[in-house]
Amino acid sequence: MDKSSKIYIAGHRGLVGSAILKNLKSRGYTNFVLRTHSELDLKDQSAVARFFEEEKPEYVILAAAKVGGIIANDKYRADFIYENLMIQNNVIHQAYLNKVNKLVFLGSTCIYPKEAPQPMSEDSLLTSPLEYTNEPYAIAKIAGIKMCESYNIQYGTNFLSVMPTNLYGPNDNFDLEKSHVLPALIRKMYLGKCLEDKEWDLIRLDFKQRPIENVDEKSSESEILSMLNKYGISQASDQDVKIEIWGSGRPMREFLWSEDMADATIHVMESVNFLDLINVTIDKEIRNTHINVGTGTDISIKELALLVQKIVGFKGRLWFNTEKPDGTIKKLTDVSKLHSLGWKHKVEIDEGVNLIYNWYENTKK
């Protein structure tokens, strides 16, 4: 790659895509081709074909995806498998047809079996059943990995796959129905603290920026309280605010700052090729060429909630609802392959939670 190479970032406004664009600019890259969802629907095969034929990007980073937390993954199963398969199929195939030099596909470590040995190595893929709640999304991402591998084997392309652990950072999704656990905790505790402090101006500002269902800043106080209660933020009295958290709090999770993920993605784009990931003299069957991206350390959901509570300053109660699913008890990635390729994360979880909460608060100003 040189600094004037034409780079297409699919999903450049999202959590990872925006961090990738920022990182590339900081490194001196200048030639970007970008489209919002309204400008280019990646599920539309003919539209994607026209885009590639007209723009002819040299490098592609496929960060666009339909994503969500445990509630959304289980509730919108058909949407998650259909939309992600369509996005991947269209972009990867057109990258091949239009002779893209290199493509990096972003997946997720939810591709690994529910009972995978910990930490999860790349070779754990397809060794036993997946976690049920996110099975459709995981299957779509596995298909993306296999599509990249298959095109490389059959056509000699240079399409790589990186599998990030749980990500968080600027431009995260704070929708209480569809967000992942960390942004959901940030927003819940922020709103809980506002209730404690009777900061209704801040609550309404939050609802203005991020309405919940059909409730926004113009809704009545009782409507806002009802919606907060629906999503686990309840107030029994002026002094007693309670935050519901799904599950027991025992599951262990690994979290990666999105700007670290962006840095890892660009490291792979600049420095790693498909042939670096296989041994052509002994690999009769080429499998599991994807690369885990994570920190290699984890934290329990309970410890995470307490950390967020401390940083936000929420003084109320945390209620771990054990009637709700925990999901997989432990999900920790083996990042030894990534380390061997010359990259390691920088931001630890304590620093990262401070960073994301400061970012969230600053969006209110």
Question: What tens digit of pLDDT does each residue of 9-35 get?
Answer: 999 999 999 999 999 999 999 999 999
Paired tokens of 61: 């980073």
State residue 365's pLDDT score: 67
State residue 282's pLDDT score: 73
Q: Rounded CA gap, 7 and 1, in Å?
A: 10
What positions carry a catalytic annotation? Answer: 137
DSSP state of 326: -
Which is higher by pLDDT, 300 or 171?
Answer: 300
| Phi and psi angles of residue 168, each rounded to the nearest 5 degrees, phi first | -155, 155
Nearest to 140 by CA among 173, 107, 162: 107
- Tell me the pairing of strands 233-237 and 240-246: antiparallel
Q: Rounded CA gap, 40 and 277, in Å?
A: 33
Across residues 313-319, what is the average pLDDT? 95
State residue 358's pLDDT score: 96
**What percentage of the chain carries pLDDT values higher than 90?**
86
Q: What stretches of the chain show up as alpha helix (H) in DSSP?
A: 15-26, 45-55, 70-75, 77-97, 135-155, 181-196, 200-209, 221-230, 258-271, 301-312, 336-340, 349-362
Question: What tens digit of pLDDT does each residue of 85-133 get?
Answer: 999 999 999 999 999 999 999 999 999 999 999 999 999 999 999 989 8
Across residues 211-226, what is the average pLDDT? 95
Paired tokens of 3: 């600094």
Residue ranges of domains in the chain, CATH in brackets: 7-171+254-297+331-347 (3.40.50.720)
280 pLDDT more than 80: no
Which is higher by pLDDT, 30 or 238?
Answer: 30
State residue 328's pLDDT score: 78
State residue 237's pLDDT score: 65
State residue 329's pLDDT score: 87
Asked if residue 253 lies in contact with residue 323, where contact means CB atoms within 8 angstroms, the answer is no
Q: Rounded CA gap, 36 and 170, in Å?
A: 18
Across residues 271-287, what is the average pLDDT? 87
State how far Cα 50 lies from the chain centre: 28
- Could you tell me the pTM of the whole model? 0.91
Placement of tokens 């799904």 in the chain: 246
238 pLDDT more than 80: no
Q: Which of 18-27, 103-112, 278-287, 334-343 has the lowest mean pLDDT?
A: 278-287
Paired tokens of 99: 């002779």
**What percentage of the chain carries pLDDT values higher than 70?**
98
- Tell me the pairing of strands 299-300 and 252-253: antiparallel
State the DSSP string of 144-202: HHHHHHHHHHHH---EEEEEE-EEE-TT----TTT--HHHHHHHHHHHHHHHHTT-HHH
State residue 326's pLDDT score: 85
Q: Rounded CA gap, 73 and 84, in Å?
A: 12
Indicate the SS3 state at residue 257.
strand
Question: What tens digit of pLDDT does each residue of 74-84 get?
Answer: 889 999 999 99
Across residues 43-67, what is the average pLDDT? 97
Asked if residue 275 lies in contact with residue 341, where contact means CB atoms within 8 angstroms, the answer is no
State residue 193's pLDDT score: 96
